[in-house]
Structure 1
Amino acid sequence: MKKFILLGCGLLWLTAVSAQGGKWQNLFNGKDLKGWKQLNGKAIYTAKNGEIVGTTVLSEPNSFLATEKDYGDFIFEVEYKLDKDFNSGIQFRSQSKPEYQNGRVYGYQMEVDPSPRRWSGGVYEEGRRGWLYPLELNPGAQHAYKANAWNKYRIECRGSEIRTFINGISASHVIDNELPSGFIALQVHGIGKKQEDAGKNIRWRNIRIIENPAASQYSPYDTVYVVNNIPNTLSEQEKRQGIRLLWDGSTTKGWRGAYKQAFPEKGWNITDGTLNVEPSSGAESTNGGDIVSDEEFSAFSLEFDFKLTEGANSGVKYFVTESEGNKGSAIGLEYQVLDDEKHPDAKLGAAGNRKIGSLYDLIPAYKLYASHKKVGEWNHGRVVVYPDNRVEHWMNGHKVVSYVRGDNIYKALVARSKYEKIPNFGMAEKGHILLQDHGNAVSYRSIKIKSLK
């Protein structure tokens, strides 16, 4: 009995220590680079006056000064200052393995980007997927970086949750489980053969970390937009923001066939958390037909992942009323889902307004670098309809279409489109969300919605 009590007390003591969380530890002793190792490029790193100084070198790839130790859950802080406004970053949960591109560093990076686009504080995955959180998603943080001054970076990692802060301002919020742990590294970005950038410095100081923090040591949740890369899930911050799953990831609940009372008996399947259009003739709604949400929406933020097969065509429509009684696909404003390279529809319409991400047959999507993933990879689509009728299409974190529903420009575009004879096209007060069956194999997942007021 006494042993049991002692064990119980011990467990209570351990719980109390855990609840207190960790303490700040310095990762730099202020004198030398003990505990750090250099990877990839040959930029020069030195310890001087209580700072780590990185110096650019011509014709070298990205260089990284990495911790010898890996970190999983932590809070990390550092201050940095640029000699000149060029690109850099802080790697975290990163890796370097001989079997991956001869040891190339890959992993999450909190971006240092003082260029005119102002993406400092965003999250980029070095060496693999590229941008996970371009700061276009959070315009409020785009002016947090201070030129010619010391800037304070903070990174919080807790399980799959990643948050970044620049000078006390919340910058990005990512949910991702690809890299649960890894080293932290200070980047000196390659400058190629730019003589004017040679010999320039990046300086870091006050480099510290808390390992395995208590929940109370992490920053409180806020209103920053969340990029959630774990399929069909909601993070705590998304829930607090009123976002919910429009498709539950496993059943047909909440959806039915367009112009029908029930979900189609053929033409669609649910496999491993994906909602799939089955291939048929390549024609509109001749197999299972379109499906629509049971609910109708007016102002909203809709998100969805989609994956194309070669030559495939589909679409996500909104403000679908099913009132037209037409044959083929139900009528609505359409976020185009298309293989631009292999499907002939991409060459029709005007100025590319039938290509992927476009407001179909009305407004072409602006194609940004890396905004479109390859066929066979998952793309993230987003449609935002504001209460004042402003509408945006987003793809993989980039805004690609912007318009005002019902203004004179919109009316002129409709008058020159295939919808010219449909009264008040796209102007319903509310409507269903629709996923289109165009007879090609296309997959959807992570369909979420938030009503806007």
Structure 2
Amino acid sequence: MKNIPTLLLDLIKKNNPVFIVFCVLLIVSCKEESPNDMTPWRPLFNGKDLNGWNQKGGSATYNVKDGMVVGSTVADTPNSFLTTDTIYGDFILELDFKVDSTMNSGIQIRSNSIPGYQNGRVHGYQIEIDPSERSWSGGIYDEARRGWLVPMEGREVAQKAFKQNEWNHYRIEAIGDTIKTWINEIPAAHLVDDKTHEGFIALQVHSIGEDETPGKEIMWKNIKILTDSLSKYSTVSPIPPIITKNQLTDQEAKSGWELLWDGKSTEGWRGAKLEKFPENGWVIEDGNLIVLASEGEESAGGGDIVTEEVYGDFELQVDFKITKGANSGIKYYVDTELNKGEGSAIGLEYQILDDDNHPDAKLGNHEGSRTVASLYDLIKADPKKPINPIGEWNTAHIVSKNNHVEHWLNGMKVLEFERGSDDFKKLVSESKYKVWPNFGLLEKGNILLQDHGNRVAFRNIKIKTPKTNQNDK
């Protein structure tokens, strides 16, 4: 009996019609089922209805027409967003859009809506759609957070790539901490930023003013996404990246923010009870200022560090990342001469704590007043505060103006108080701070990062003061 390969060869040579039909069907079947031949792209919009999408924010209308999503402006409503039900992290997204020449829009990526953040307001990265004379389409805006991250001013080639009153094509790559955009195949933006790692994708219809006519439309079609084998399909961008880590964005610089730490040296900082920066206990690694663990014994580490300058009214932002069971803090209006030579330097404290694993979370003058973002030992932070898990970055934000002080955590205000008020003085009189006259009432003081014997990392330390606030006028 002939073997199988020889038999097949004989059938082919004899031009057997039955065998030829069998081979054609076999080839077609294999082609349809072979994963190597399947396109890696998946549609985000089925062309028929809005299944898989939901609306957040304002009440602009979204409809499906001729295989397109059509968004239309409505008066007296905030920004509207048609968002995917699915959350995406790393991806490559492509779509086509056509926009009314007098309206504004955008594509949200890695965006979120949570109750604790501005009552559920949509926030996150937005790829701008801007048909105005400014022509910033393809730029990257941080919706409801930091504002412009990659403005398109001076990027003439990309600005000219937008086609007015015609269909335009976007390619958006979000891989790791890098976001890159193209408009009609022309590179537009290149950002390195790790503020948000995942979220929904959304089609925005911007709010309109009272003097604008409603009913302006933007249309989207051919919306597709790639989430697998991204390194294979990623495109190199010739545009130098804008890196936000330990840097001011263009908008931050214009509004008066200054870096309080340069991300690479100890310039501007010293030990709270030293004339220079501690020789041990603190390290700088990969743009992070890290207080090392010393088995819970503060005296075994490098000690607290403070700014060389003192501050009165200010607005401060600090990213922090804790380890399991960690305790630390950000103090302000610190008097380094007070309590000199004993324990920690004294000042008002924005508490940093692992609430789930550190016993201090259940202590304090008022129960819970030593939890994260609280005014340590005095005022408990809002229990609904948005806190990221151990090992992820959180952002502390402290505002002090004319003795009115606010603590914010990840974009949510968690407490406020008036320095020097009767209520404040009463809280102090009932706390461990009662032994220090005029506690928390300095006109100016240092800002302090605490060494409490646990490993905690800091970065993106920024401050805005009245002297640097001229551009806000």
| TM-score normalised according to structure 1 size | 0.60
Whole-Å Cα distance in 1 between the matches of residues 436 and 442 of structure 2? 12
Whole-Å Cα distance in 2 between the matches of residues 379 and 116 of structure 1? 14
Code of the residue aligned with 1:206 in structure 2: it is: E
1:240-251 equivalence runs, <5 A: 240-251=254-265
Code of the residue aligned with 1:359 in structure 2: it is: L
SS at match of 1:419: helix
SS at match of 2:368: coil
Match of 2:412 in 1: 398
Whole-Å Cα distance in 2 between the matches of residues 372 and 38 of structure 1? 36
Shift of 1:413: 0.5
SS at match of 1:420: helix
Shift of 1:431: 0.6
Whole-Å Cα distance in 1 between the matches of residues 286 and 145 of structure 2? 33
Whole-Å Cα distance in 1 between the matches of residues 87 and 374 of structure 2? 37
Match of 2:81 in 1: 89
Match of 2:180 in 1: 180
Match of 2:109 in 1: 107
Shift of 1:254: 0.5
2:396 is aligned with 1:344: no
Going from structure 1 to structure 2, the CA distance change for 1:361 and 1:111 (only over 3 Å counts) comes to closer
Structure 1: which 5+ runs fail to align? 1-34, 46-50, 56-64, 68-76, 127-153, 165-169, 189-202, 210-227
Shift of 1:204: 7.7
| TM-score normalised according to structure 2 size | 0.58
1:245-281 C-alpha deviation (Å, 9 max, x unpaired): 0000000011010111110000000000000001003
Code of the residue aligned with 1:79 in structure 2: it is: S
Match of 2:330 in 1: 316
Shift of 1:297: 0.3
Q: Is the 8 A contact 2:318 2:395 kept in 1?
A: yes
2:284 is aligned with 1:301: no
Match of 1:28 in 2: none
Whole-Å Cα distance in 1 between the matches of residues 276 and 388 of structure 2? 33
2:355 is aligned with 1:355: no
Whole-Å Cα distance in 2 between the matches of residues 323 and 451 of structure 1? 24
Q: Is the 8 A contact 1:274 1:445 kept in 2?
A: yes
1:340-391 C-alpha deviation (Å, 9 max, x unpaired): 111111111122000000000000111336x1111110001111110x2000
Match of 2:123 in 1: 123
Shift of 1:96: 6.5
1:188-337 equivalence runs, <5 A: 205-207=216-218, 230-324=244-338, 325-337=340-352
Going from structure 1 to structure 2, the CA distance change for 1:125 and 1:99 (only over 3 Å counts) comes to closer
Whole-Å Cα distance in 2 between the matches of residues 97 and 413 of structure 1? 45
Shift of 1:90: 4.2
SS at match of 2:432: coil
Code of the residue aligned with 2:361 in structure 1: it is: A
SS at match of 1:345: helix
Q: Is the 8 A contact 1:286 1:328 kept in 2?
A: no
Shift of 1:285: 4.3
RMSD, aligned CA? 4.4
Match of 1:42 in 2: 51
Shift of 1:240: 1.2
Shift of 1:237: 1.3
SS at match of 1:38: coil
2:141 is aligned with 1:162: yes
Whole-Å Cα distance in 2 between the matches of residues 321 and 348 of structure 1? 25
Match of 2:28 in 1: none
Aligned length: 321
Match of 2:396 in 1: 381
Structure with larger Rg: 2
Q: Is the 8 A contact 1:91 1:110 kept in 2?
A: no
Whole-Å Cα distance in 1 between the matches of residues 244 and 321 of structure 2? 15
Whole-Å Cα distance in 2 between the matches of residues 242 and 347 of structure 1? 39
Going from structure 1 to structure 2, the CA distance change for 1:174 and 1:397 (only over 3 Å counts) comes to farther
SS at match of 2:435: coil
Match of 1:8 in 2: none
Whole-Å Cα distance in 1 between the matches of residues 315 and 336 of structure 2? 21
2:461 is aligned with 1:447: yes
Whole-Å Cα distance in 2 between the matches of residues 279 and 251 of structure 1? 20
